[in-house]
Amino acid sequence: MGAFDEDGQTHAAARGDECAQLALALFYLNKARGAQNVMQSIHLTQLAGTFAMLAAAQGTVPAVRIYAFALRARIACGHLTEKSTADLTALAATLDAAIEGKSEEDRVEVQI
């Protein structure tokens, strides 16, 4: 039993897999959006923020770097509010595209 229910991607992230790090950031961001209370969302966004920080630090794929920084900025500003829910949904979609295609830089439409 583990508290870190992310389907085994941590090992890949630990080996330096940038996409695994970003995928984990997304995973925890999505969980945070469905959080039952503020404390739960804080906890989950910290996990998301740390993985986004790792993906951004590598930055081998420009689009991934931009998305990761956008994600981190949003978390850092505490903008996980009702207002930003729609933006986060859009961000999640662009992050997904970044993970899939790794060349979706021009699809960044999220306002930080």
Partner 1 sequence: MSAVPNAAGPAILEDDEPVLELAARGDRAAQSLMMDHSIACANAGHIPLSVALGAAEVFARMAVYDGAAVNRRRLAGVLLWQAENLWNCGYYERSRIYQLEAIGIVNALADAGDERAAALLSQYAHAFSPDILKLAAELARGGEDAPDADPRPLGAH
Nearest to 63 by CA among 31, 100, 27: 100
Beta carbon nearer to partner 1, 34 or 106: 34
Give the nearest distance from C-beta 85 to partner 1 in angstroms.
Answer: 7
Give the nearest distance from C-beta 59 to partner 1 in angstroms.
Answer: 8
Residue type, 95: L
Beta carbon nearer to partner 1, 40 or 103: 40
Query: CA dist 50 to 21, 69, 73, 86, 101, Å?
Result: 9, 11, 12, 22, 23
Positions that interact with partner 1 (CB under 8 A) = 1-4, 10-11, 13-18, 21, 33-35, 37-43, 45-47, 49-51, 53-55, 57-58, 72-73, 75-78, 80-82, 85
Instruction: Report the distance separating Cα 25 and Cα 60, nearest Å.
Output: 17
